[in-house]
């Protein structure tokens, strides 16, 4: 898991061949007035999901992981909080992995809660269970989904 400011994102570009393009996409836009919904960046290899949501609070935020995609979660507006837990410390809800949605949920709460203010991003790898939208107010955020095996 990584947390940093978008202006410092270049230091992470070498971690994946598509990270530089994902960060360039985030930097190249003003998010005010942009519509929500899927934005194709590189076919199934990389796409973005801009959204406006309301935080669910810590009790409403659910731990999740993804196997096929790495999440770059950029906060454009609002104060986001996210939970983190190492995957090996998590217990599945029993519903299993949903391959179509590339998501699995877990019981319990993360041990670590992280504030993610506007202009900052997180990177969650498949071994990073995370609980997004753990704040209480409105959040404008863009999740760039980067295929692990690209």
At 123, which CATH number? Answer: 2.60.120.370
Strand pairing partners for 86? 128
Q: What is the mean pLDDT of residues 98-120?
A: 97
The mean pLDDT value of the chain amounts to 96
Q: Return the number of other C-beta atoms located less than 10 Å from residue 88's C-beta.
A: 7
User: CA-to-CA distance for 43 and 112, rounded, in angstroms?
Assistant: 34
CB 92 within 8 A of CB 104: yes
DSSP 20-47: HHHHHHHHT---TTPPPS-EESBTBTEE
Res 33: pLDDT: 80
Each residue of 132-150: pLDDT tens digit?
Answer: 999 999 999 999 999 999 7
Asked if 140 and 80 count as a contact pair (C-beta separation under 8 A), the reply is: no
Q: How far apart are CA 82 and CA 8, in angstroms?
A: 20
Q: What pLDDT is stored for residue 49 in this prediction?
A: 97
Residue 99 domain boundaries: 2-147
Residues 6 or more apart whose CB falls under 8 angstroms from that of 111 comprise: 85, 89
Tokens (6 digits) for 106? 């877990």
pLDDT of 105 strictly over 90: yes
Asked if 150 contacts 73 with a C-beta cutoff of 8 angstroms, the reply is no
- Check if the beta carbon of residue 6 is closer than 8 Å to that of residue 74: yes
Please tell me the total count of domains within the chain: 1
What is the percent of the chain where pLDDT is above 70?
100
Q: Which residues of 24-37 are buried (b: 16+ CB within 10 A; e: fewer)?
A: ebbeeeebeeeeee
């Amino acid at each position: 898991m990584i947390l940093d400011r978008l202006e410092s994102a270049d230091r992470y570009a070498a971690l994946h061949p598509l990270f530089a393009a994902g960060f360039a996409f985030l930097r190249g836009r003003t998010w005010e007035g942009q519509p929500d919904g899927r934005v194709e960046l590189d076919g199934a290899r990389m796409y973005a999901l801009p959204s406006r949501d309301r935080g669910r609070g810590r009790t409403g935020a659910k731990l999740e992981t993804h196997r096929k995609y790495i999440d770059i979660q950029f906060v454009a507006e609002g104060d986001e909080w996210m939970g983190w837990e190492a995957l090996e410390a998590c217990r599945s809800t029993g519903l299993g992995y949903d391959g179509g949605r590339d998501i699995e949920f877990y019981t319990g709460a993360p041990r670590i809660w992280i504030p993610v203010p506007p202009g900052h991003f997180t990177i969650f790898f498949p071994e990073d269970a995370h609980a997004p939208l753990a704040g209480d107010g409105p959040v404008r955020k863009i999740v760039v989904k980067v295929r692990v095996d690209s």
